[in-house]
């Protein structure tokens, strides 16, 4: 077995091990590296901030470029050490995935709504999204949760697995850095209207393929939660591009069709109102049961994406080796 094939297999094994760690343990409870990165990025923002697009681009170049460069150096250092590579990829994958924590939050919300405890549900919503929960009723809280589970299945799981499969350690670290920066500065507000442009655009580009993989896997897995794959596919194709985000709409439309619910509508973010197009126009209002189904569907999509990532990573080494032989 060539060194390239061994390293590719080690990368695939590390992705699988990291995904299993996330499934069993969830996010690290203390000293989470992503949280530490967020604090460092926040400190850097305070030093580099200016209300211009150029300043935001410089900020992203440093804040995302430095950790990605470190990951690249680690990848080079372990290019002939498959055991070390597998361990490093496993630890990094566990760190950057958030699939289990996402599903736990969704389940907690569903239980609060099923028990009629709206106050508890409103207090939990900020763990899932930035929407103002104060005036939301049970149906709107359920809608917000289903939308968040759909979108974050791509952001918290499929995106990281995709980039880990195609770019190894630098892909895992770079993707999570970009995604974190988008969450911090990429939203529309007076402060970040221009400064956050680079982070938002880079995150859009990074999620272009993962969001569509997420939607496609949602269609395939729909029957496993009592949904219709044809309805999920039709809703995805019809409504996926109606959303203001080029990526979130793909995941949310497929989820709406898979569950047979209606998503989109009026959202309030810190006093700012957004009217979102309706996704799944013929569906019913979301409820606690639909959250449970969305959580199960998210888990199924993540499992399928893990399998695809492992196969893709392992096959990359074989393709490279064949390509090298063919040039001799």
What number is the average pLDDT over the span 214-243?
Answer: 96
Phi, psi (rounded to 5 degrees) for 277: -60, 150
Residue of 31, 41, 32 whose CA lies nearest to 184: 41
Per-domain residue ranges for the chain? Answer: 3-326
Helices 197-206, 208-221: crossing angle, 10 deg rounding: 50
284-320 per-position pLDDT tens digit? 999 999 999 999 999 999 999 999 999 999 887 666 5
Q: Say yes or no to pLDDT of 178 above 90.
A: yes
pLDDT at 28: 77
Residue identified by tokens 């992203």 is 60
DSSP for 253-264 reads HHHHHHHTB-B-
The predicted-structure confidence for 146-172, as pLDDT tens digits, reads as follows 999 999 999 999 999 999 999 999 999
Q: What is the Cα–Cα distance from 160 to 202, expressed in whole angstroms?
A: 14
Kind plus residue range of the DSSP H or E element containing 320: helix 288-326
Instruction: Determine which of 27-31, 116-120, 172-176 has the lowest per-residue pLDDT on average.
Output: 27-31
Give me the helices (H) in 154-262, please: 159-185, 197-206, 208-221, 229-239, 248-259
CB 119 within 8 A of CB 307: no
Is the pLDDT higher at 1 or at 212?
212
Question: What does the DSSP assignment read for 62-116?
Answer: HHHHHHHHHHHHHHHHTTT-HHHHHHHHHHHHHHH--HHHHHHHHHHHHHHHHTT
Rounded to an integer, the average pLDDT of 189-196 is 91
Residues shown for the chain: 328
Question: How many CA atoms does the CB half-sphere of 25 hold within 13 Å?
Answer: 16
- Residue 23 half-sphere exposure toward CB, CA atoms < 13 A: 15
Distance CA 175, CA 202 (A): 10
CA dihedral 62, 67, 71, 77 (to 10 degrees): 80
Answer whether 160's CB lies under 8 Å from 176's CB. Answer: yes
Given this model, what pLDDT does residue 328 score? 42
Mean pLDDT of 135-156: 94
Take residue 55 and report the two structure tokens written for it.
């300043």
Nearest CA to 103 among 229, 225, 243?
225
Rg for the chain, CA atoms, rounded: 20
Check the CA dihedral 282-287-289-292 and report its sign.
Answer: positive
Element (H, E) at 268: strand 266-269
- Nearest residue to 164 (alpha-carbon basis) of 15, 299, 281: 15
Choice between 14 and 277, residue whose per-residue pLDDT is larger:
14
Record the pTM.
0.92
Residue 196 has pLDDT above 80, yes or no: yes
The pLDDT of 222-236, averaged and rounded, is: 96
- Structural tokens at position 101: 């924590």
- For 44-64, give one letter per residue: b (16+ CB within 10 A) or e: ebeeeeeeeeebbbebbeebb
């Amino acid at each position: 077995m060539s060194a390239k094939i061994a390293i590719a297999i080690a990368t695939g094994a590390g992705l699988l091990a990291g995904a299993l760690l996330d499934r069993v343990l969830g996010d690290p409870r203390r000293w989470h590296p992503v949280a530490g990165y967020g604090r460092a990025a926040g400190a850097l923002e305070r030093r580099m901030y200016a209300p211009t697009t150029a300043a935001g681009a410089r900020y992203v170049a440093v804040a995302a470029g430095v950790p990605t460069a470190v990951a690249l150096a680690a990848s080079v250092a372990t290019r002939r050490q498959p055991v070390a590579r597998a361990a490093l990829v496993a630890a990094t994958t566990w760190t950057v995935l958030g699939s289990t924590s996402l599903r736990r939050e969704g389940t907690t919300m569903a239980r609060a709504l099923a028990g009629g405890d709206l106050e508890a549900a409103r207090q939990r919503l900020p763990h899932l999204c930035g929407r103002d929960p104060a005036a939301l009723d049970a149906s709107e809280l359920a809608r917000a949760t289903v939308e968040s589970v759909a979108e974050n299945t791509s952001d918290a799981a499929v995106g990281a697995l995709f980039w880990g499969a195609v770019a190894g350690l630098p892909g895992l670290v770079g993707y999570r850095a970009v995604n974190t920066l988008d969450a911090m500065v990429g939203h529309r507000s007076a402060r970040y209207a221009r400064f956050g442009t680079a982070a938002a655009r880079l995150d859009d580009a990074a999620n272009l393929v993962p969001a569509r993989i997420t939607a496609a896997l949602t269609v395939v897995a729909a029957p496993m939660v009592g949904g219709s794959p044809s309805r999920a596919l039709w809703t995805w194709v019809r409504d996926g591009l109606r959303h203001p985000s080029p990526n979130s709409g793909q995941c949310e439309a497929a989820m709406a069709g898979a569950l047979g619910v209606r998503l989109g509508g009026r959202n309030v973010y810190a006093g700012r109102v957004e009217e979102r197009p309706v996704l799944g126009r013929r569906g019913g209002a979301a409820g606690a049961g639909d959250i449970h189904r969305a959580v199960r569907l998210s888990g199924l999509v993540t499992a399928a994406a893990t399998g695809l990532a492992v196969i893709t990573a392992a096959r990359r080494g074989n393709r490279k080796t064949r390509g090298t032989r063919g040039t001799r």
